[in-house]
């Protein structure tokens, strides 16, 4: 059997890098992406070590665990033990998910892949045929996309919609705090940017505007016209269509805050790609919340931890 080190190295680097990308997303880590590349390179060093020294320490179970700990330190650093263990468990969870998909394709395409001491290798009589290189070029992204999609759906279903969360947003240098509620029925998106819209009521939003500006905004909402919109808000406020109760179509005014923060499961998140919709009136009869959170805001690909 002829083994080509360069092909094996690239194959395993892509697998390791894909796994670290998913761990980065799953744990909401704030690590720069260049560190994930460095982690993938360190992880792929196992290829020459294993091929040159088949019976090395890192081929044993304790060695593999220690090596994975090193990979995680290079990729994410060490902030605290709780976060580190979360990344460690996520690393192996994603590894099993990706590995299962790759082995499934292995049985589908035939005998072009071989597993040697935990490494994926391709072998043939030349530099690789169409099956092996098609696997590298196409099947990796497919498995990665499928795994990411399924994890994304799990995250979406995990959100408890009965849960209220403290939220705050920044506008023109001022901060405003209130209570948000995850509403499974809130599917409002900006049709142009495809960004989620979080609806806030007048209890919290009236503090952002002067009394005269608020009355003019309300007039704009009623007339579906920007004729009465204050000049200083012309560049920040837009009007988008939405479907209300009973299928009734209407329009809502939205604006982009400087930053939006959500405290969910004792973790603070910063959202910079959302809009706030203006609700003239109160959202809850008992005043328990004043903000309807879009359920997909926690699935943002670049969700930042503040």
- Tell me the catalytic residues: 183
Query: C-alpha angle with apex 262: 260 to 268, nearest 5 degrees?
Result: 110
Coarse DSSP helix, strand, coil percentages of the chain, rounded to the nearest 5 percent = 50, 25, 30
Buried b / exposed e along 150-189 (16+ C-beta atoms within 10 A) = ebeeeeeeebeeeeebebbbebeeeebebebbbbeebebb
Q: What is the DSSP string of 238-255?
A: EEEEEE-GGG-EEEEEEE
Please give the sequence-ordered ranges of beta strands (E in DSSP) within the chain, or none if there are none. Answer: 113-116, 119-122, 164-171, 174-182, 197-201, 237-243, 249-255, 259-264, 267-271, 275-279, 291-293, 304-305
Cα 150 from Cα 92, distance rounded (Å) = 16
């Amino acid at each position: 059997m002829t083994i080509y080190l360069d092909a094996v190295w690239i194959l395993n680097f892509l697998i390791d890098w894909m796994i670290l990308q998913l761990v980065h997303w799953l744990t909401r880590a704030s690590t720069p992406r260049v560190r994930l590349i460095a982690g993938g390179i360190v992880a792929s060093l196992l290829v020459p070590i294993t091929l040159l020294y088949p019976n090395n320490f890192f081929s044993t179970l304790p060695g593999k665990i220690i090596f994975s700990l090193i990979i995680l330190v290079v990729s994410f650093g060490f902030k605290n033990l709780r976060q580190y263990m979360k990344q460690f468990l996520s690393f192996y969870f994603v590894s099993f998910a990706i590995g299962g998909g790759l082995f499934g394709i292995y049985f589908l395409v035939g005998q072009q892949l071989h597993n040697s001491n935990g490494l994926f290798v391709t072998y043939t009589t030349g530099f690789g045929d169409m099956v092996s290189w098609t696997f590298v070029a196409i099947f990796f992204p497919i498995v990665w996309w499928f795994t990411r999609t399924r994890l994304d759906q799990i995250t979406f279903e995990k959100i408890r919609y009965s849960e209220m969360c403290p939220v705050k947003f920044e506008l023109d240098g001022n901060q405003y705090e209130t209570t948000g509620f995850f509403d499974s029925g809130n599917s409002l998106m900006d049709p142009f940017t495809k960004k989620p819209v979080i609806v806030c009521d007048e209890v919290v939003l009236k503090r952002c505007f002067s009394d005269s500006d608020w009355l003019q905004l309300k007039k704009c909402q009623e007339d579906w016209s920007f004729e009465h919109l204050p000049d200083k808000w012309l560049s920040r406020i837009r009007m988008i269509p939405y479907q209300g109760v009973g299928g009734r179509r209407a329009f809502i005014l939205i604006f982009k805050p400087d930053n939006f923060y959500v405290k969910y499961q004792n973790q603070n998140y910063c959202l910079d790609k959302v809009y706030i919709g203006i609700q003239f009136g109160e959202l809850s009869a008992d005043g328990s919340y004043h903000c309807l959170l879009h359920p997909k805001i926690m699935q943002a690909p670049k969700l930042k931890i503040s």
